């Protein structure tokens, strides 16, 4: 075998190995909505699944990971949630759906990251709700511990889902997102830990500040972390906050 062919095979094996490790345990699937459209998603099951009931952590990606390859949404956060280091302490089912290229998790004004107040549920969010309802039929899923989180566009989506179906969710982690402030009373009893970077030039931190104020005005007590030196990409920092996952997985619906 020629030297250059050997080198090519070694490189191919290395790349394949890295890709397998990065997304180890995450399985690509699709779910059909009532309209007939299929939502692609990846799902991870912990080792103890089937022995005891386990919680679910649904993670919504940002605008840059939209598409139909059912892989791009795994760039941020989802692999960390499915990693051994996380699962050894907080075993859970991890779900990472993918929004279509031109879609949004929440009704947002195009070319401007602002929520459309009173906007209708998007097809992508309808797919996420269908997926959650399917998961709730699984006898090994802890129905009292469904968690939702997301970054940027996924932060908007996290809050949109909670505003529409608060009864489904035990707690939420929106990162650098925004919300329809007219709906905060719908989820004043859903625990939230909100994150934002003070220097975010994509989605202004004021969106999260206004959300926190609105929640407090209706009697809620959200947790809020704002990084003074943080820009838009604070999600990796947020998900690794020492107390976050301990706080999240301790939340349970009555």
Q: What secondary structure does DSSP assign to 190-238, as a single string?
A: S-BEEEEETT-SSS-THHHHHHHHHHHHTT---EEEEETT--S--HHHH
182-211 in b/e burial notation, b at 16+ Cβ within 10 A? ebbeebbebbbbbbbbbebeebbbebbeeb
- What percent of the chain has a predicted confidence (pLDDT) above 90? 85
* Mean pLDDT (whole number) for 194-223: 97
* Mean pLDDT (whole number) for 124-151: 97
Residue 100: is its pLDDT beyond 50?
Answer: yes
Residue 80: is its pLDDT beyond 80?
Answer: yes
Overall number of domains in the chain: 1
pLDDT digits (tens, 9 = 90+) for 144-176: 999 999 999 999 999 999 999 999 999 999 999
pLDDT confidence of residue 24: 55
**pLDDT band of 11, cuts 50, 70, 90:** very low
Q: Which residues contact 208 (CB under 8 A, 6 or more apart)?
A: 174, 176, 177, 178, 194, 195, 196, 224, 226
**Helix-, strand-, coil-residue percentages of the chain, each rounded to 5:** 35, 20, 40
pLDDT confidence of residue 174: 98
Q: Which residues contact 70 (CB under 8 A, 6 or more apart)?
A: 28, 30, 40, 41, 42, 98
What integer best gives the mean pLDDT of the chain? Answer: 90
Asked whether residue 13 is domain-assigned, the answer is no
Asked whether residue 47 is domain-assigned, the answer is yes
Residue 8: is its pLDDT beyond 90?
Answer: no
pLDDT digits (tens, 9 = 90+) for 22-69: 455 789 999 988 778 899 999 999 999 999 999 999 999 999 999 999
pLDDT confidence of residue 19: 37
Asked whether residue 132 is domain-assigned, the answer is yes
* Mean pLDDT (whole number) for 98-107: 96
Asked whether residue 3 is domain-assigned, the answer is no
CATH number at residue 178: 3.40.50.1820
pLDDT confidence of residue 109: 86
Q: Which residues contact 199 (CB under 8 A, 6 or more apart)?
A: 205, 228, 229, 230, 231
Asked whether residue 17 is domain-assigned, the answer is no
Domain housing 124: 27-250
Asked whether residue 1 is domain-assigned, the answer is no
């Amino acid at each position: 075998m020629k030297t250059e062919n050997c080198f090519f095979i070694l490189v191919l094996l290395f790349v394949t190995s890295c890709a397998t490790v990065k997304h180890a345990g995450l399985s690509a699937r699709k779910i059909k909505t009532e309209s007939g459209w299929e939502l692609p998603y990846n799902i991870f099951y912990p080792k103890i699944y089937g022995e005891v009931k386990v919680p679910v952590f649904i993670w919504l990606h940002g605008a840059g990971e939209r598409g139909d390859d059912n892989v791009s949404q795994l760039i941020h956060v989802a692999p960390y949630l499915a990693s051994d280091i996380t699962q050894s302490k907080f075993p859970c089912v991890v779900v990472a759906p993918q929004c279509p290229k031109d879609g949004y998790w929440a009704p947002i004004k195009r070319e401007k990251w602002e929520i459309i107040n009173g906007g209708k549920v998007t097809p992508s969010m309808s797919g996420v709700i269908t997926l959650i309802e399917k998961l709730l039929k699984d006898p090994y899923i802890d129905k009292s511990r469904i968690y939702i989180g997301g970054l940027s566009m996924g932060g908007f989506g996290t809050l949109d889902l909670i505003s529409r179906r608060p009864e489904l969710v035990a707690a939420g982690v929106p990162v650098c997102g925004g919300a329809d402030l007219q709906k905060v009373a719908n989820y004043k009893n859903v625990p939230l830990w909100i994150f934002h970077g003070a220097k975010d030039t994509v989605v202004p931190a004021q969106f999260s500040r206004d959300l926190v104020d609105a929640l407090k005005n209706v009697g809620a007590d959200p947790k809020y972390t704002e990084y003074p030196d943080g820009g838009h990409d604070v999600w990796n920092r947020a998900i690794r906050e020492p107390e976050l996952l301990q706080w999240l997985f301790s939340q349970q619906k009555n």
